[in-house]
Amino acid sequence: QHESQLQAEKINVLSELAASFAHEILNPLTVTSGFLQMMKQTGIPDEKKQLFNRLALEEVDKAQSIVKDYLSFAKPQFETQETFDAKTLLEEAGAQLRSYAQLHHVAIEMFLEEKLTVFASREKLAQSISHIVKNGIEAMPQGGKLIIVGTLQNQRVCIDVIDHGVGMTQEEIGRLGTPHYSTTQKGTGLGMMMAYRIIHLMRGKIEVISEVGKGTCFSISIPASGSASFH
Ligand code: ADP
């Protein structure tokens, strides 16, 4: 019963993803095509041509980012669910992002309890966490401290990612996890959408607390392996 429900949900997510992918990719392609058409016209000054060329390239870049974001999340690894220690996963994610953090003058600090055992897709969870940590680093343009806390609470493994960055308004928080929402130049707004869906598929929850100019806390919780809410 539960299994087929989960299966149906996966198919739902996949078709939704395919639809938003098509939609997302079509937009920059249409714009690129427009610029290329304009460049073909006779009597266009060189300056204008250069401009159209640059804008067309920017749109192609955008399309590339969209495809890359989709590929990094859409690999069919969902079947490979396993029991593992989220503590190790968090340590590995932290280690992988350490040089990226240093580049942004951000220090990563971790407070992790022992035995954070979950049954989930290891790679997908790692991707989601890395993405949230990366966003946290990017939210601190002056550098600062990023804190990762891993605890066991009420048979759920809770992961908090706390930054002291630019923060978000209530409205911005509400738009997180929906496509098209991005404030960065090359951003696609897809990363968060994928992270939300993946975590929900694992019967997880994401809560966001944020204050503009102060920082943001992403709280993720997924059922601990062997807990009552776990089947
Ligand atoms: P992208 O990183 O491609 O812009 P995301 O889906 O990862 O897309 O994030 C969408 C938007 O959410 C970002 O552009 C940013 O404005 C906002 N955001 C995400 N995480 C944070 C954070 N920790 N602090 C402030 N803003 C954030």
| pLDDT tens-place string over residues 23-74 | 778 888 999 999 999 998 888 899 999 999 999 999 999 888 888 777 766 6
Q: Residue 200 has what pLDDT?
A: 85
Q: Give the Å distance between the CA of 187 and the centre of ligand 1.
A: 8
3-state DSSP call for residue 84? strand
Q: Residue 6 has what pLDDT?
A: 67
Q: Residue 231 has what pLDDT?
A: 46
**CB distance 140 to ligand 1 below 6 Å:** no
**CB distance 163 to ligand 1 below 6 Å:** yes
Rounded Cα distance between 199 and 9, Å, is 13
Query: Highest-confidence range of 10-14, 182-186, 196-200, 214-218, by mean pLDDT?
Result: 214-218
**CB distance 139 to ligand 1 below 6 Å:** yes
**CB distance 165 to ligand 1 below 6 Å:** yes
Residue with the larger pLDDT of the pair 61 and 3 = 61
Mean pLDDT of 177-182: 66
Residue 8 is encoded by which pair of tokens? Answer: 């149906």
Residue with the larger pLDDT of the pair 76 and 16 = 16
| Whole-number Cα distances in Å, 169 to 13, 206, 208, 214 | 27, 17, 11, 11
Rounded Cα distance between 157 and 159, Å, is 7
Among residues 177, 175, 150, 176, which one has the least CA distance to residue 161?
150
Mean pLDDT of 89-108: 95
Mean pLDDT of 134-159: 96
Question: Is residue 140 within 8 Å of residue 155, measured between CB atoms?
Answer: no
**CB distance 28 to ligand 1 below 6 Å:** no
Is the pLDDT reported for residue 229 higher than 70? no
Q: Residue 197 has what pLDDT?
A: 81
Residue with the larger pLDDT of the pair 65 and 99 = 99
Mean pLDDT of 79-98: 90
Q: Residue 26 has what pLDDT?
A: 87
> Of 64, 127, 135, 188, which is best to mutate to test ligand 1, by the most ligand atoms within 8 angstroms of its C-beta?
135
